[in-house]
Structure 1
Amino acid sequence: MNAAAEPLMSLRGISKSFTLGGNTIHALRNVDLAVLRGEIAAITGPSGSGKSTLLNLCGLLDTADGGEMLYAGQPLPAADDARKTLLRRQTIGFVFQSFNLVPVMNAYDNVDFPLYLLGVPAAERVRRVNGALERVGLAGLGKHRPDQLSGGQRQRVAIARAIVKHPQLVIADEPTANLDAATAAQIIALMKDLAHEHGTTFLVATHDDRMLGHCDRALALADGVLLEGARHAH
């Protein structure tokens, strides 16, 4: 990562609350965060600390109650749903902990689907889908449906789907949790390549020491409060 890199996503004074059983849950409290271009940033914290809420906000899947968000230096008003939808579709990839693969589609079609929605020409889609599957070690398994794949293989399909549209930002929830040591190392190396060679930014929720050891920075969430962690030099 370039030390002089500019922020891709900036959060200023972000707060988010939920009402549950008549009680108010403060998921995020006055969070300030700048995620740099080409950075691999990890978010850690116990269950209920606000990690998923923070990922959803940065992935433009949810809206904060208060504070300001900027994407690529431009303010992102909470009410601008059309712009958020366009940015999410064109520039953000997601790796969900539950995979969120379409069960009736095979691995190839799951990876192809984001490109289809973007209207990418067919020949370019074939090239990019095959390339993404190969990069995650699934060349030759494109015709397998999710129920014919192991948990680790489904995770790799989800990662291929996230990177196939060449996103600026990838939001990943425990991307290496279901992977064996060799596959985890392969995926971490892929993320580092994309970050360093193409400027892809990764915001990762993880408890996996294998992943944490390769992040540029680790931040901890506790009761909705974000604590800045040390920046690692690689």
Structure 2
Amino acid sequence: MLAQEHLITRVKDLCRTDERLVAALVYGSFVNGEADRHSDIEFWLFAGAEATLDERAWLDQIGTIQHTVVNEFGTHVVFFPRLLRGEFHFTTEQNIPSVRTWPARSGPTDRMIVLDRTGALREALDSLPAQAALPTTPAEIDELCGRFANWLLLAHHVTQRGELLRAVDALAHTQRHLLWMARLAENRTQHWLTPSRNAESDLPSEVVHAIHRTTATADPDSLAAALTATWALGRRYWQQLGHNVPADLFADLDACL
């Protein structure tokens, strides 16, 4: 048994015995069957409207904690011994309906639910698709390709300006959209929400090698080579997928990259 599974069992026990909680769910790789020793543990906890919950005190019940931080999304991130990581979203039962806005479930509803005193969480989870919706219409696909171009142009211009670290950052956004384009074109759309996840095993090896060449360090030559490789692959997929390919933009990009 993985160490994370012991932590998950402990969290589930705490949820089920805490009368202040109305609902709780676990999500992520331990629900969809892809967990390994590097995986996080991830929970949503929904307290009653009138409940008073000290989040840090609640987390301390799990076991030894080395550090806790609230990230930029308002999530409590917990660092357990052996570099194990957990994410805990604390909210109230009024936000259970917002689950219906999620793009998809992490796995079967029964595997996600830890606690559901009212049945509202099951209803919300059951309303979600098993897989995230893919861009299928011409407009949606053209928008994906256009967003790729947006980040590519930014990466090009800041490289030319000499903002090399900013260029690396922009290139990472470009690569994320390139991965979506590759997954769509290659019909390898598993892990759509996080397109880099398991890309090395999901995508054909020649595609993976081509995408590896789109990465760069904060060095002018490295960035120039990566931008050229990014456009070459993106150009191919855009032509394959796109419905309104902008010929003038293609010509300018061909000339610059």
Coarse TM-score class (shorter-chain normalised) = under 0.3
Computing the radius of gyration from Cα coordinates, the structure with the larger value is 2
Instruction: Choose between structure 1 and 2: higher strand proportion.
Output: 1
The normalised TM-score by structure 2 is 0.26
**TM-score, normalized by length of structure 1?**
0.27
Larger helix fraction of residues: 2
User: RCO (CA 8 Å, sep 6+): is it higher in 1 or 2?
Assistant: 1
